[in-house]
Amino acid sequence: MGCFFSRRRKPAQGGQLPLQQQAGAGQDAATGEQKAPQYSWDLRAKIDPKDYTFSGLKNETVGRLPGKVAGQQFVIQDCENCKIYIFDHSATITIDDCVNCRIFLGPIKGSVFFRDCKDCKCVVACQQFRTRDCRKLEVFLCCATQPIIESSTGMKFGCFQYYYPELALQFKDAGLSIFNNTWSNIHDFTPVSGENNWGLLPETAVVQDYVPLPSSEELKAVRVSTDATKSIIPITRGRRQKNSDESCLAVFFAGDYTTANARKLIDEMTSKGFQLVQTKEVLMKAEDAHRVFQQSALEFIPLLEKGPVVALEFNGDGAVEQCQSTINEVFSGTKVFVSESKASASQDVDNFYNFADMQMGM
């Protein structure tokens, strides 16, 4: 077994003293008494758990403004008929024994765990999503990994759609990509034969009808929009049945404008009636490129070193031709992989997303 030994640090060059000595260890000049050393962890602001907890509330509207949670853990428990808004990023969030609440949770770096909750409507963005012993939760979800439900019934899911000015930066602070959202790929840990414990919300579902905008003066200051066209997260069909047997894969490579370019293509294609099925942001290696891009691989391999790629699947009759046309017109100076034909496109989509799912451990 290995051991760690603490070593006394030498003063830094130029006579610089260790932090505890800089911070005031030694004698008090006025009294001559020895002062206790101060360490860097003593100088940090003390965290009060009450600032990161909502507990035992009834019929209240409460929340936290951007910057007020700043990556800490948060706990919500024993709340009833409440509207709760966390307009900031956090480390993890647990929600226990809540009934008939409306909840918005900004980006969560780790997991969100609902336990023993019922009749709640939520908007949630997270790395991991899990429920246990819950009943009738309706969730507009962005989740980077496969959402898991356990001993839960009457669960309904839709695609996260929300905007306020600080939200994009909060996603980055939480280490979440706006393109990695498996909201409809639910794993039921405790399935019951002949029953379905979960389903999808109607395509026409409007977030504001489920989780209304905050009514308190303090929280109104957050300039929220639930307009789907402004959503930070691109709205995808997920596992809903496709309207057409024709899909098209488009892949953008890392650069200064990757996100903006991907969003521009989404806007162009959806405005023409094509549907965005799924998106993904993932790192690729040369061998992955050969598997996914086939004959075109050598053209794109040098671009993979710059960072992750962003892939988009569009669906609709004529999707390949329209996607090629839009990329030629709008992104003429940008290298983009796009399916060559309707015949090859479905294989392109399968090749890429099978690879991406393996990469992300799905």
Residues annotated in a binding site: 110-111, 127-130
- The position carrying tokens 């910057």 is 67
Burial class (CB in 10 A: 0-12, 13-18, 19+), 260: exposed
- The position carrying tokens 């026409």 is 204
What is the C-alpha separation between 295 and 293, in angstroms, rounded? 6
- The position carrying tokens 């390949």 is 320
Q: Which residues are annotated as a binding site for GTP?
A: 110-111, 127-130
Per-residue three-class SS string for the chain: CCCCCCCCCCCEHHHECCHHHHCCCEECCCCCCEECCCCHHHHCCCCCHHHHEEECCECCEEEECCCCCCCCCEEEECCECCEEEECCCECCEEEECCECCEEEEEEEEEEEEEECCEEEEEEEEEEEEEEECCEEEEEEEEECCCCEEECCECEEEEECCCECCCHHHHHHHCCCCCCCCCCCCCEECCCCCCCCCEEECCCCCCHHHHCCCCCCHHHHCCCCECCHHHCCCCCCCCCCCCCCCCEEEEEECCCCCHHHHHHHHHHHHHHCCCEEEEEEEECCCHHHHHHHHHHHHHHHHHHHHHCCEEEEEEECCCHHHHHHHHHHHHCCCCCEEECCCHHHHHHHHHHHHHHHHHHCCC
